[in-house]
């Protein structure tokens, strides 16, 4: 299964991605994660990417594309993958289509998880993260078994600094401006599955799995 998952911050994209990679036994490829890994490994590309991220800028398309091409050549990506956070622009989407064509691979689906901005702002306010292992919870939609304590590691749950209304609105605005053209791009070739992210994580996953079945 070769999937791209798109969705605004706070729509539950990360949780859906985690479930899907387990269901299909495919690697979860996040460009943000690759950038951090390369930086820790002292890779020159990783250093360049890190400088952009540090300045709060987007990593240029050519650097991102080089990193993605390299990642797709790894053994674990040969039988499928889930892209999270990529492609983020039309040039990136075109580059990815070229890589896939070179490999003779087809994209199975682009999953677009959507929800109203208003709901997302409210939802992010309830988000909590484990300060120890990074697992994400929600006080209403996905609460821990014991209040403020991580189910996995027993760590303390905290609210991230940038999970406030103003920052979230700004991130949503950037997301809409950047990503909507990418969704339109994939829409032209009929590859988009729209999933309603306002539901529970389980229900959204069921909808995605059903649509993926029909898509094949
Ligand atoms: Zn934890």
Q: Distance, CA 152 to ligand 1 centroid (Å)?
A: 5
For the question of residue 122 being annotated catalytic, the response is: no
Please, which residues have CB within 8 angstroms of residue 201's CB and are 6 or more apart in sequence?
12, 15, 16, 19, 141, 142
pTM of the model as a whole: 0.81
Q: Distance, CA 160 to ligand 1 centroid (Å)?
A: 14
Q: Distance, CA 129 to ligand 1 centroid (Å)?
A: 8
Q: Give the start-end residues of each E strand in the chain.
A: 2-6, 28-30, 81-84, 109-114, 127-130, 136-138, 157-158, 192-196
For the question of residue 156 being annotated catalytic, the response is: no
For the question of residue 103 being annotated catalytic, the response is: no
Most confident range, picked from 54-58, 138-142, 144-148 = 144-148
pLDDT at 215: 62
Q: pLDDT-derived band of residue 54, with 50, 70 and 90 as boundaries?
A: confident
pLDDT at 75: 95
pLDDT for residue 122 is more than 70: yes
pLDDT at 141: 80
* Distance between CA atoms of residues 112 and 29, nearest Å: 16
Q: pLDDT-derived band of residue 125, with 50, 70 and 90 as boundaries?
A: confident
pLDDT at 216: 55
| Of 13-22, 35-44, 95-104, 174-183, minimum mean pLDDT range | 35-44
Which sequence spans correspond to the domains of the chain?
2-116+177-215
* Distance between CA atoms of residues 105 and 99, nearest Å: 8
Q: pLDDT-derived band of residue 58, with 50, 70 and 90 as boundaries?
A: confident
When the pLDDT of each residue in the chain is averaged and rounded to a whole number, the result is 90
Assess contact for 114 and 12: CB atoms under 8 A.
Answer: no
Q: 205 versus 36: which is more confidently predicted?
A: 205
pLDDT for residue 55 is more than 90: no
For the question of residue 127 being annotated catalytic, the response is: yes
Assess contact for 85 and 53: CB atoms under 8 A.
Answer: no
For the question of residue 88 being annotated catalytic, the response is: yes
pLDDT for residue 36 is more than 70: yes
* Distance between CA atoms of residues 175 and 5, nearest Å: 14
The CATH class of the 2-116+177-215 domain is alpha beta
Q: pLDDT-derived band of residue 85, with 50, 70 and 90 as boundaries?
A: confident
Q: Give the start-end residues of each E strand in 100-210.
A: 109-114, 127-130, 136-138, 157-158, 192-196
């Amino acid at each position: 299964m070769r999937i791209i998952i798109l969705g605004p911050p706070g729509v539950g994209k990360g949780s859906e991605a985690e479930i899907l990679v387990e269901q299909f036994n495919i690697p979860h490829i996040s460009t943000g994660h690759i950038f951090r890994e390369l930086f820790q490994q002292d890779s020159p590309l990783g250093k360049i990417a890190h400088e952009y991220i540090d300045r709060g800028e987007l990593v240029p398309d050519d650097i991102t594309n080089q990193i993605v091409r390299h990642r797709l050549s790894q053994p674990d990506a040969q039988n499928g993958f889930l892209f999270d956070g990529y492609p983020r622009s039309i040039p990136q989407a075109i580059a990815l289509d070229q890589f896939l064509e070179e490999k003779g691979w087809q994209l199975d689906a682009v999953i677009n998880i959507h929800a109203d901005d208003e709901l997302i702002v409210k939802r992010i306010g309830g988000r909590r993260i484990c300060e120890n292992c990074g697992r994400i919870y929600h006080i209403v939609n996905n609460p821990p078994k014991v209040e403020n304590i991580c189910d996995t590691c027993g760590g303390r749950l905290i609210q991230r600094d940038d999970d406030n209304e103003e920052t979230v609105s700004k991130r949503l605005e950037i997301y809409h401006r950047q990503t909507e053209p990418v969704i339109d791009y994939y829409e032209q070739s009929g590859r988009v599955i729209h999933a309603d992210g306002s539901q529970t994580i389980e229900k959204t996953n069921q909808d995605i799995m059903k649509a993926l079945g029909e898509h094949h």
